[in-house]
């Protein structure tokens, strides 16, 4: 039987569907990005469009399929079993039937960590945490060299940890969550309607807008508190940041590291490292592909 050496990884995000064709070493051979169109309920057609564009570059028997999406997958990784508040209709949606191919489904943040653990920033780590910051905030845990999903496949939902007990509840009912504090979807509320997205906020900050800076620094401080808390609970070697917010570069990392230095409880000279994901915005798609290789190996 001929060895399968390629995989299509699809990352269904809140605003864009990112899809890649990769080889077994994680090299990207082709990439496709299309709008999600969630507001029009067309997200599944967007996924199919991305898949079809990549599928024309492979022979069916020589390629696996993996899909990452927000929410919690079922125990067999065939669908998203639970996703409150977004992508209406995704719960229980049969991707294998829809695309006409066997598809393995994984949470988007777990997919991002899978990419980094197999090919990127966490490749040589035993213990690491990834925090994905885009439309919302996700996360995943690497413990003793293995991705840890916990009971009910719920572990790693860092966006729903509370950093303000008096804050408004998020979509999971958690008051003052990290997702509410820094996710792109809440920027209008956090800026009193002045900014429509994080990119707009950063542009204003670069133009010395004092209000924009205050909104940004409050969000970064919240992220630092969350990271320091994770350090106390899990004591990872690395905290890896992924998602669209990492495009901010030093505007993100410099104040974040400064806050972490203030809050992180360090034992002697030992401390966790902060690192930007190797794959950037491709992490979810590449991780979905990596997961499909592993799933077929264990299937």
Q: For residue 58, which phi and psi values (nearest 5 degrees)?
A: -135, 160
Mean pLDDT of the 192-214 span: 94
Mean pLDDT of the 5-16 span: 92
Q: Would you say residue 201 has pLDDT above 80?
A: yes
- In terms of pLDDT, which residue wins out, 296 or 13? 13
Mean pLDDT of the 82-104 span: 91
Q: What is the 3-state secondary structure (H, E, C) of 104-152?
A: EEEEHHHHHHHHHHHHCCCCCCCCEEEEEECCCEEEEEEECCEEECCHH
What pLDDT is attached to residue 102?
95
The whole-chain average pLDDT of the chain stands at 91
Mean pLDDT of the 266-274 span: 88
Superfamily (CATH) of domain 6-111+282-298: ATPase, nucleotide binding domain (3.30.420.40)
> Are 6-111+282-298 and 124-277 the same fold in CATH?
yes
Quote the pTM value. Answer: 0.81
Mean pLDDT of the 74-86 span: 87
124-277: what fold? Nucleotidyltransferase; domain 5 (3.30.420)
Candidate from 33-47, 193-207, 224-238, 250-264 with smallest mean pLDDT? 33-47
Q: Would you say residue 295 has pLDDT above 50?
A: yes
Q: For residue 169, which phi and psi values (nearest 5 degrees)?
A: -70, 145
What pLDDT is attached to residue 151?
84
DSSP codes joined into one string, the chain: -PPP-EEEEEEE-SSEEEEEEEETT--EEEEEEEE--GGGT-HHHHHHHHHHHHHTTS-GGGEEEEEEESSEE-TTSSSEEE--SSSTT-BT--HHHHHTS--EEEEHHHHHHHHHHHHSTTTT-SSEEEEEESSSEEEEEEETTEEE--GGG-TT-GGGSBS-TTSPB-TTS-BTBHHHHH-GGGHHHHTTTS-SSHHHHHHHHHTT-HHHHHHHHHHHHHHHHHHHHHHHHH--SEEEEESGGGGGTHHHHHHHHHHHHHH---BTTB-PEEEE-TTGGGHHHHHHHHHHHHHHHH-
What pLDDT is attached to residue 271?
87
248/227 Cα distance (integer angstroms): 18
- In terms of pLDDT, which residue wins out, 4 or 29? 29
Q: Would you place residue 1 in the very low, low, confident or very high pLDDT band (cuts 50, 70, 90)?
A: very low
In the chain, where the domains are located: 6-111+282-298, 124-277
Q: What is the pLDDT of residues 142-196, one digit of tens each?
A: 999 888 988 888 899 999 999 999 999 998 899 999 999 999 999 999 999 999 9
């Amino acid at each position: 039987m001929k060895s399968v050496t390629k995989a299509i990884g699809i990352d269904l995000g809140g605003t864009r569907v990112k899809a890649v064709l990769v080889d077994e070493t994680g090299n990207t051979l082709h990439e496709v990005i299309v709008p999600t169109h969630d507001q029009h309920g067309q997200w599944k057609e967007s996924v199919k469009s991305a898949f079809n564009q990549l599928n024309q570059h492979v022979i069916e028997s020589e390629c696996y399929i993996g899909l990452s999406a927000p929410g919690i997958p079922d125990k067999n990784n065939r669908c998203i079993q639970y996703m409150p508040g977004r992508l209406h209709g995704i719960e229980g949606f049969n991707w294998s039937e829809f695309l006409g191919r066997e598809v393995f489904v994984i949470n988007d943040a777990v997919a991002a960590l899978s990419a980094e653990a197999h090919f990127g920033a966490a490749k040589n780590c035993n213990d690491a945490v990834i925090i994905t910051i885009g439309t919302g905030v996700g996360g995943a845990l690497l413990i003793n060299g293995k991705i840890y999903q916990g009971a009910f496949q719920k572990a790693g939902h860092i966006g729903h940890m509370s950093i303000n007990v008096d804050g408004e509840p998020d979509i999971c009912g958690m008051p003052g969550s990290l997702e509410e504090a820094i996710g792109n979807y809440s920027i209008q509320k956090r800026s009193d309607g002045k900014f429509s997205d994080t990119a707009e906020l950063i542009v204003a900050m670069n133009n010395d807008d004092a209000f924009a800076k205050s909104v940004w620094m409050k969000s970064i401080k919240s992220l630092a508190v969350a990271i320091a808390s994770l350090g106390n609970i899990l004591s990872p070697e690395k905290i890896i940041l992924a998602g669209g917010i990492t495009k901010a570069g030093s505007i993100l990392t410099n104040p974040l590291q400064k806050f972490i230095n203030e809050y992180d409880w360090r034992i002697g000279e030992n401390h966790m490292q902060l690192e930007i994901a190797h794959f950037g915005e491709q992490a979810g798609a590449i991780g979905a592909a990596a997961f499909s290789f592993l799933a077929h190996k264990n299937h």
